[in-house]
Structure 1
Amino acid sequence: MSLALEDRLAITELISLHGHLVDEGNLDRFEELFTSDVVYDLTEFGQEPLLGVAAIREAAWALGAANPVAHHVTNVVVTASEDGRAQVRSKGLGIRADGSCGSVSYDDTVVRTADGWRISHRKVSPRRTPLGGMTVSG
């Protein structure tokens, strides 16, 4: 299955919008990003998955000043699924107030809704080792 160019652009903009909304504190607009029953998987950070938009919003408010001051998304790759959904892989950079930086990978499932494309599942994975932890064996 393939996606129309318009769908690919809409999905890429959806993924990009996340950082703008969070960085500006517009957490009340998360319905523009996520389905109401979204699963936001943070298990690789030692946390339980967040279920639903309200849980994501509450978690962001709870982090308060520990939130990054800037979220940047790059390397967006969109793959159509046979079921009409799309899988999206992207990289995220978070800049903290002290200037330090962290990197993650986002693995998203996006679905078409009456209001446009929305993220129904997001897995956030920290990037902490070069080359995915692979080493040369010899």
Structure 2
Amino acid sequence: MSLALEDRLAITELVSLHGHLVDDGCLDRLEELFTADVVYDLTDFGQEPLHGVAAIREAAWALGAANPVAHHVTNVVVTASADGQVHARSKGLGIKADGTCGSVSYDDTVVRTADGWRISHRKVSPRRTPLSGKTKPA
């Protein structure tokens, strides 16, 4: 499957919009990012996946002041597969109020809806080990 340049740009902007909406506290606009039945997979953080936009919104409100003050998304790579699925992989940096930061990878499945592209599945994986723990082969 081939994606038009306009679709690639729309998907990249969709992924980028997440940080703006969350950092601005616009949690009432999460439907602009996700499908209603989205799965937001946080298992790599020891949490159960969140199901649906309302669950994502509630988790953000519950986290409160522990939320990062800034989400930065970089290195967005959009891939369309032969089976028609579209994936976006990106890197995220989160800056906390105390100045500490963390890095994650976002692995998204995106689908075209009547309202435009939306994320139907997001897996968030922490980046804690250089080179993903790989060492030089002997």
What TM-score comes out, normalization by structure 1 length?
0.98
Aligned to 2:6: 6
Mean Cα deviation higher: 4-13 or 76-85: 76-85
Residue in structure 2 matched with residue 122 of structure 1 by the alignment: 122
CA distance in 2, matches of 1:58, 1:109: 22
Please give the alpha-carbon distance, in whole angstroms, between the structure 2 residues aligned to 1:137 and 1:6: 41
1:25-40 equivalences in 2 (<5 Å):
25-40=25-40
Cα displacement (A) at 1:85: 3.0
Q: 1:126 Cα deviation (Å)?
A: 0.1
Residue 83 of structure 1 and its aligned partner are, at CA, apart by 3.8
* RMSD, matched Cα: 0.8
**CA separation in 2, counterparts of 1:102 and 1:22?**
16
**Please, which runs of 5 or more residues in structure 1 have no aligned partner?**
none
In structure 2, the partner of 1:69 is 69
CA offset digits 1:106-131 (Å, max 9, x no partner): 00000000000000000000000000
For residue 87 of structure 1, give the secondary structure of its aligned residue in structure 2: strand
Q: 1:49 to 1:87 in 2, by over 3 A?
A: same
In structure 1, the partner of 2:110 is 110
Name the structure 2 match of 1:85: 85
1:134 — aligned with what? 134
Q: How many residues align?
A: 138
CA distance in 1, matches of 2:76, 2:134: 23
Report the AA paired with residue 69 of structure 1: V
- Counterpart amino acid of residue 102 in structure 1: G
Partner Cα distance (1:28, 1:85) in 2: 27
* TM-score for the superposition, normalised by structure 2: 0.98
Q: Which stretches in structure 2 are left out of the alignment for 5+ residues?
A: none
SS at match of 2:25: coil
Offset of 1:98 from its aligned partner?
0.5
Whole-angstrom CA distance in 2 between matches of 1:5 and 1:81: 16
What is the identity, as a one-letter code, of the residue corresponding to 1:79? Answer: T
Deviation at 1:135, TM superposition (A): 1.3
For 2:83 and 2:53, locate their aligned partners in 1 and report how far apart those are by CA, in whole Å: 24
Paired AA for residue 25 in structure 1: G
